[in-house]
A and B are shown apart, each in its own frame.
Chain A
Amino acid sequence: MEIELAKKTIGRVRQAQRAKRALDKVIIWGAIFLSLVIIIIAAANLLVNRENQVLDSKIQSLKKQIEAKSKIENQQVYLNSKLTAFGGLIKTHELHQAIAETIFSLIPDGTSLKGFEVTETGVISLAGSVPSWGLFSRLLTNLEQPSRPLTVAQSKIMQINFTADGQVDFDLELTLKI
């Protein structure tokens, strides 16, 4: 007959050994996992670093190629900067040219034009003289006719002076359709 005097003690020891083995396993697997994590991160680091080096050399090569084209680039920057102001100038230039052409088409031969001025509101002040009433009458008729390239929307006679030798001095205000 066997008497199991140390049954409880043996059970406790076996349980402690099992727990110890389990802990050892956790430690070993944990160490393996940690090592793997370190290896993976280090490998990824190396890989990304290498890619960066390749990209960097690609960028340097691209920069060299762009530097070789720097003349074209500078010319393009120059054109871009000039075109901003030039565009605005061309717009007023075209309008001014149309106004000048219209005025020249309105005044008959023999008219002495003292000057024409375009005010900020777009009203044209036209002053001059004609040697006879007949020519002034033709000027007034021209103002009523459709003119080119712009048409006269409104004309106002500000002043007329008749001199003793038949000359007519005039001061007109014109508004052109723009």
Chain B
Amino acid sequence: MTKKQKITGQILVLAVTLLLFVRPLAVKLNANLKAREQLVKQAAELSEKLEILNGIETGLVDERVKKMEAVFPSIKPIVPLLASLSQLAAEHSLTFGGLSLSPGSLSQEKGQSDLKDLSFNFEVGGDFLRISQFMKSLENTAPLMKIESVSLNIKTNPLFDPGATQVTAQVEVSAYYQAPPKTLGSIDKPVRLLTKNEEGLLNQLIGFRTFPAILPTGAVGKEDLFEVQPRLP
């Protein structure tokens, strides 16, 4: 074998070795390194997420969700509204009636997570001071309501107490509700902690009074919206 043939042979062996062994190994190593980088990042993110979740107080978040659902419900708050208004009026020794509302569909609108309002009118009767107190209490009562307009009429009842000014107030109120988010938290998405401002808003929820609604005694569907269903074997 001549020197030239030997060199050519060696170059060929080198090229074949590089192509068949070194290159695939190097490509695989590069891919593995990239995968490791991704996995390290993912593990760090998940660890951080788990740490955040462990730091959230279960009882507190449960209480906040319940309060939020009472004050700013996910579905049209027909029953809580009627319960709150009638009980609040009774508490202020006012007559309550003339309620007119057009709730429309009672089921939750699919795919809608925008803010919705439900307007309705009602009448309360009693003395001026009690009506004024009722109005103040109304806006701090769950579900969240906003007085749109008030119309007061003097309606003195001379048979019972000629001295007291009997007033009838026609009130137009809007109640608000918003469907829950379409997608709840997925494993890879980070958990956003509440800001100080949002914590302040949640603390304001406590200031809202809730009145008990009359509930059916039988089991009605899923009781806990966030409960994870057990997997079937």
| A interface residue numbers (CB < 8 A to B) | 16, 19-20, 23, 27, 30, 34, 37-38, 41-42, 44-45, 48-49, 51-52, 55-56, 58-59, 62-63, 65-67, 69-83, 85-87, 89-90, 92-93, 96-97, 100-101, 104, 109-117, 128, 131
Contacts and interface: CB of A to CB of B under 8 A. Distances in A.
Interface in B183-199: 184-185, 187, 191-194, 197-198
B160 interface: no
Contacts, number: 184
24 contacts: A23-B3, A34-B22, A48-B33, A48-B36, A59-B46, A66-B46, A67-B187, A67-B228, A70-B226, A74-B184, A76-B185, A77-B184, A79-B68, A79-B198, A81-B181, A87-B197, A89-B72, A89-B115, A89-B144, A93-B144, A100-B139, A100-B150, A104-B132, A115-B151
Nearest to A81: B181
Interface string B143-180: 01011011111100000000001000000000010101
B39 interface: yes
Contacts of A100: 135-136, 139, 147, 150
Contacts of A101: 136
Q: Which 4 pairs from chain A and chain B are nearest by CB?
A: A73-B185, A55-B39, A113-B152, A62-B46
A112 B194 contact: no
Contacts of A16: 3
B202 A71 contact: no
B53 A66 contact: yes
Main secondary structure, interface of A, reads: helix
Given A52-B32, A81-B181, A128-B152, A87 B17 contact: no
Nearest to A54: B39
A46 to B, nearest CB: 9
Given A70-B228, A74-B185, A76-B61, A109 B43 contact: no
Main secondary structure, interface of B, reads: helix
B49 interface: yes
Given A82-B68, A89-B146, 5 more contacts: A37-B22, A63-B187, A75-B226, A76-B56, A89-B176
Given A48-B32, A69-B54, A83-B201, A41 B26 contact: yes
B139 A97 contact: yes
Nearest to A44: B29
A87 B204 CA distance: 10
Given A52-B39, A115-B149, A69 B53 contact: yes
B115 A63 contact: no
Contacts of B228: 67, 70-71
Best-surrounded residue of A19, A27, A41, A74 (most CB of chain B within 10 A): A74
B191 A34 contact: no
B222 interface: no
A52 B197 CA distance: 41
A116 B170 CA distance: 12
